[in-house]
């Protein structure tokens, strides 16, 4: 895809080949080279936007782990059990659903805030190797 898009960019070949002795000013040459460069950058940017999937900045949750997965599964299971009883608000299943949901949300909040305050070992190693 990128190749086809780059093929549409016209290279200023007249700058390379002799134009019957015609003299170009430095400003003309710079304008043509900068225009060629800008066209290449625009094509590459357009290709990257159409090929690389765009995700929100917090899409990848590196702090998500097995504990959060298990808490989520437990909250879903208790919700499904509660739903089977037509979602009563007075039974013990409701208390279980509420407790599991709050436990899951609190764990998420704690993991996320802890991740902002910690370096990972791989990041630390990468930084130390580049020094």
**Full pLDDT tens readout for the chain, 131 residues:** 788 888 888 888 877 776 665 677 888 888 989 999 999 999 999 988 888 888 776 677 878 889 999 999 999 999 999 898 888 888 788 899 999 999 999 999 998 888 876 766 666 666 777 65
| Neighbour count for residue 100 (Cβ, 10 Å) | 20
Block residue for tokens 């093929």: 7
Count CB-CB contacts under 10 A for residue 72.
16
| Residues near 15 by beta carbon (within 8 Å), at least 6 away in sequence | 24, 29, 32, 33
Contact 62, 120 (CB under 8 A): yes
What is the spatial distance between Cα 3 and Cα 41, in angstroms, rounded to a whole number? Answer: 13
Burial of 97 (0-12, 13-18, 19+ CB in 10 A): buried
Q: Compute the distance between CA of residue 45 and CA of residue 125 in angstroms, rounded to an integer.
A: 32
Q: Which residues contact 101 (CB under 8 A, 6 or more apart)?
A: 75, 79
CB atoms within 10 A of CB 45: 10
Whole-model pTM? Answer: 0.49
């Amino acid at each position: 895809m990128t190749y086809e898009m780059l093929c549409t960019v016209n290279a200023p070949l007249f700058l390379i080949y002799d134009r019957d002795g015609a003299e170009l000013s430095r400003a003309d040459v710079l304008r043509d080279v900068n225009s060629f460069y800008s066209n290449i950058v625009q094509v590459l940017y357009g290709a990257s936007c159409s090929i690389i999937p765009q995700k929100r900045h917090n899409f990848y949750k590196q702090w998500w782990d097995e504990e959060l997965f298990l808490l989520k599964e437990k909250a879903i299971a208790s919700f499904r059990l509660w739903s089977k009883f037509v979602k009563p608000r007075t039974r013990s299943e409701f208390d279980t659903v509420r407790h599991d949901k709050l436990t899951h949300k609190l764990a998420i909040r704690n993991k996320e805030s802890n991740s902002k305050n910690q370096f990972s070992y791989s990041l630390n190693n990468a930084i130390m190797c580049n020094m």
